Chain A
Amino acid sequence: AQSVTQLDSHVSVSEGTPVLLRCNYSSSYSPSLFWYVQHPNKGLQLLLKYTSAATLVKGINGFEAEFKKSETSFHLTKPSAHMSDAAEYFCVVYNTNAGKSTFGDGTTLTVKP
């Protein structure tokens, strides 16, 4: 069985300050992990993915995530928030054997001017 827990349903930061969105996972197998972003009234867009080649993964728009096996975490970070980062973010674990993904409940990021 696999599961994903996004530890914060809402995160609010000021423009120009760091962003941290937290995700813990549980998986019986070596996981494939993803972060997606959803802007209002849009579909989901892939931010980054964990390939097992490197534990620090760089994505689009300045986002990064670090895979920590010992902590079963895959937290998303960005050094400096921009107003356009305001959106909902989903952490996802993919089960190769079952052929399907499990999504976290989402974290809504608000960026204050």
Chain B
Amino acid sequence: DVKVTQSSRYLVKRTGEKVFLECVQDMDHENMFWYRQDPGLGLRLIYFSYDVKMKEKGDIPEGYSVSREKKERFSLILESASTNQTSMYLCASGDSGRTPYEQYFGPGTRLTVT
């Protein structure tokens, strides 16, 4: 089975802190994604990566950056956390060689910024 793990299930950070969310997948997938999930808004794509050191902005990249130094690991960085970044963050991975294209999700990190 594909496994996508996220470094923390729950995080509490203070406004202005730099925050790192880590995601690791074990299926050698090319593509990895970061989403945030808010009630009534579904999932919104923050960034995605289709290869090591490659990244593309999603629909809501402002206030976030990403890093992908190794194929299995994709990090989301909040340079200076703000209260409006309190949310559930979901990482996903997928094999671009499969059609139609499906994603495998981690359990999520619930981040609270105070």
Q: Taking beta carbons and an 8 Å cutoff, which residues of A are in contact with B?
A: 9, 32-34, 36, 41-46, 49-52, 90, 94, 96, 99-101, 103-106
Contact = CB atoms under 8 A, between A and B. Distances in A.
Contacts, number: 61
A90 B100 contact: no
A34 B100 contact: yes
Given A103-B43, A104-B42, A106-B42, A44 B102 contact: no
Contacts of A100: 33, 45, 48, 56, 58
Given A32-B99, A43-B105, A44-B105, A90 B43 contact: yes
Chain B interface residue count: which class?
Answer: 20 to 34
Contacts of B42: 90, 103-106
Given A43-B4, A100-B48, A105-B41, A51 B100 contact: yes
